[in-house]
Homo-oligomer: A and B are copies of this chain.
Amino acid sequence: MKITKKRLAHIVFESDDWASKTFDIVLLFLIFGSILVSILDSVASLRSTYGTLFIVLEWLFTALFTVEYVLRVWLSRKPSGYIFSFYGIVDLLAILPSYLSFFVVNSQLLAVVRALRLLRVIRILKLGRYISEAEYLQRSLRASTHKIMIFIGFVVTIVLIMGTLMFIIEGPEHGFTSIPVGMYWAIVTLTTVGFGDITPATPLGQFVSSIIMLMGYAIIAVPTGIVSSEMASQRKKDEAAHLISCSNCGKENVNPSDNFCGNCGVKLR
């Protein structure tokens, strides 16, 4: 069987038959494999033992991802559309750092670029049966964006005021060396993370901290309330969208899984 360009495009872009599903699964394994190698390579003891193996595997993954990238550009109906799309950039960034390593000597900068390869994991979310739920989540979050922006603005205002207050009260001698550090502490405290790397030592500082923490208590309820009520609303819309009307008597909100209209008894399907 000769593989045409159209057939190849089908394998790469769709996932509804044997060949295209295999392509997706192999790609998935490559993505997970390359991430795993990146992670293991960062562990000093493993690097010293398996360093060469990791380098070889790194180049193997880069080669395969390069092939994938070239295929996607070549097979796209509109290559420029793909290249400048989100995933097009992600795919490019996944192979670029390895090639850059020929030119870049600064290993720190290299690591930054390499880290971007991890963005490929987002692709996983594109696959499989979970799509409708992902969209459900996405829609809820998008509908809440305005409210969450307001909320973040509100939190930043509190963080600014509280960070400044604590900088004034506690001062550099207790670790609050500047307003930015005070703001970092205020975020750590308001979000209830509480690392404990910087803590109030004066009675007044502890009192103000207590106020901040009790505020955090009430504040943490707000995004939850926003997302919850948004999700409940989305769910209601979804359920409403699934209901139909009886074409005979006009009764609304008929469950589409019913066979007969509950009002007039006419056969629905």
A contacts, CB < 8 Å to B:
35, 38-39, 42-44, 108, 111-112, 115, 118-119, 121-122, 124-125, 129-130, 133-134, 136-137, 140-141, 146-157, 160-161, 164-165, 167-168, 172, 177-184, 187-189, 191-197, 199, 203, 206-207, 209-210, 213-214, 216-218, 220-233, 235
Contact = CB atoms under 8 A, between A and B. Distances in A.
Contacts of A124: 153, 157
Number of identical protomers = 4
A238 B220 CA distance: 24
Closest 8 A-B residue pairs measured CB to CB?
A193-B194, A196-B196, A225-B227, A42-B179, A195-B196, A197-B199, A221-B223, A221-B227
Contacts of A167: 42
A250 B184 CA distance: 58
Given A187-B214, A218-B223, A233-B235, 9 more contacts: A42-B178, A42-B179, A42-B182, A130-B149, A180-B203, A193-B216, A220-B220, A224-B225, A225-B231
Nearest to A177: B44
Contacts of A226: 221, 231
A169 to B, nearest CB: 9
